[in-house]
A and B are shown apart, each in its own frame.
Chain A
Amino acid sequence: MSAEATGQAVDPALHLELSAFLFREARLLDEGRFEDWLALLAEDIAYEMPLTLTRERSESERVHDPRMGYFSENIHSLRTRVARLRTDYAWAEDPPTRTRHLLSNLEARELEDGRYEVRSAFVVYASRGNQTGWDQFVGGRRDTIERVEEGLLLTRRLLLLDQAMLGANSISIFL
């Protein structure tokens, strides 16, 4: 999963446009505007976070489990997760976790099929209840974005978490 992306680095204007799209997406999540967030996802989105394993350096290529993950989502399961949050019984998220999605180190390329790939580093701080500590989710992200008539849509999100033993009790937010 560490293969270099092929394709040309995008020009500065496009880089800014892609960054603005991802920053807005992050803000929608932090503001709890999940329906608006869903509108930024393509119908065929693949939203995935494989397990991270502790392995020897010689096996660095196999740090991410090819089968098991924390997320293995499509548009339907993401909509179900959002619908769940709108019931009165999503106990883990009511009161809601306060999140701050920080996105950095953006590298954008145009893929051969005309879509864009943006690689980035993410830090998500999650504050729950009155705890003074944070749940922190830190890792690398590979996003694939396509241009449609109405604008940009996210078609793939691959989240590569740095932590192997999850330090949070569970994951009840979107990353």
Chain B
Amino acid sequence: MSVESTHDYEALVRPEEGEVSRRIFADPEVHAEELERIFARSWLFVAHASEIPSAGDYVTRLSGTDPVVVTRTEDDQIRVFHNSCRHRGMQVCRVDRGNTAHFRCPYHGWTYKNDGRLIGVPAHKYAYGELDRSRLGLLEPPHVRVLHGLVFVNWDPDAPSLEDYLGDMLWYLEILFARTEQGIEVVGSPQRSLTAMNWKLGADNFSGDGYHVAMTHRHALELELFGGGTMLGHTIVCEGGHTVRFQNFPPQIPLPHHLALPDEVMESMRRTLDPDQLDAIDAITVMHGNVFPNFSFVDAIFTTTGDPDIPPVSFQNIRLWQPASADETELWSWVTMAKETPDWWRDASLETFVRSHGIAGTFDQDDIEVWTNITAANRGPIARRQTFNYEIGLRNPRPDPDWIGPGTAYAADYNEANQRAFYSTWRGYMQSRTGVKA
């Protein structure tokens, strides 16, 4: 955490004036500093508990650019370890998922139990005489927290608790991930692609970009898959750079309420969420947002993908924007749903996601086309001297003190307050070498 910054982030990032330098989306040095100052210090999502339901189950993931393995031990604890042998650094696990009691390094054979303990060192006595194996277990982040099944890690020993880090955002995350008594589960494995874009463009969009929908996704309006008309909604800024956007459907175009969730889910949801949380998603088309830095989510109703066999359903999608390099992002994309969900609805929800918001989905193709082309246009020195414009809502913020949830709410579907909050938080981390709260 001691990279000396060569950048004046105060000058580059000025969300208060609606300006953010394009350099921060393109410069490899900025990217290297992000890994140290943001990703090595923030709470990062690595998995959902439902992905490893049984003792011995594991999945391999990334924390920033560091590989980790997420395990469930014999005593039913979820643990996260740096996926790298303590002897010479070989990855001890090289597959996406599986079940095992231990991990054996292929290089010299050091063997670790799935709770991280080093339990086997070949030729131990001959090679080492004495070796204190207890201090050579797999490296473990100082903080691992499982909240509503969401597994987060933080590598900063001085980090705040996850609950403090999320603050008001927790209320919104509960709407998605703690909406029923049995909780939610991941369906299948995450989709993944290496995408030629800077990771912040995805977080920026999911943080609250209602403005792009009518143009980037205009095909859906043309094909009448999507209602047009006046856009109503809220954008909400929570402390810590976490943000949410709700879009309401216009009153003259009624859609199924509560995201068309099936009765089994609704019944449990009424017993689980508080009335204000239920109200927040009563008459919406979409709820999406971003937990700083790179954990995005969306819950959206799609009345049709042009398929008369599918009734109106919604889908829940978790995204991670993994910062592979300044101009490459590993996009990870999970589908989740309440465990109470009946089979017919599961199938319809999953199909709706795959067809619209999967990596081959009709919506995501166009988003990715935009983000990759922005990244390409940022390569040159001229571009890097310029700024992106974030002035929407700067002079007409439309604050809504009557909003039913926590955070600072704005009664506007088009608003860039959320993005401004994201970059303000980003700047706070990048300027400070220790402990941050922007």
Give A residues with C-beta under 8 Å from B.
49, 51, 53-56, 59, 65-74, 76-77, 79-81, 83-84, 87-93, 164-172
Contact = CB atoms under 8 A, between A and B. Distances in A.
A55 B95 contact: yes
Interface stretch (B10-18, B176-184, B368-376): B368-376
Interface stretch (B25-33, B139-147, B190-198, B397-405): B190-198
Contacts of A73: 355
A89 B218 contact: yes
Contact of B365 (A67, A83, A172): A172
B187 A87 contact: no
B350 A170 contact: no
Interface in B294-309: 305-309
A53 B307 contact: no
A170 to B, nearest CB: 4
Contacts of A84: 219, 223, 362
B15 to A, nearest CB: 27
Given A90-B219, A164-B192, A70 B366 contact: no
Contacts of A55: 95-98
Interface of B: 94-98, 187-197, 215-219, 222-223, 225, 305-309, 330, 335, 350-351, 354-355, 358-360, 362, 364-366, 368-370, 372
B187 A76 contact: no
A87 B96 CA distance: 39
Contacts of B351: 72, 77
Nearest to A55: B95
B191 A70 contact: yes
Contacts of A68: 187-191, 335, 350, 354
A165 B192 contact: yes
Nearest to B193: A166
B306 A169 contact: no
A70 B219 contact: no
Nearest to B94: A54
Given A71-B360, A83-B223, A56 B98 contact: yes
A63 B187 CA distance: 16
Given A68-B350, A72-B355, A87-B218, 19 more contacts: A51-B189, A53-B95, A53-B189, A54-B94, A56-B95, A68-B190, A70-B191, A70-B359, A76-B306, A77-B305, A77-B351, A84-B223, A87-B219, A89-B366, A92-B368, A165-B192, A166-B192, A166-B193, A169-B193
A167 to B, nearest CB: 6
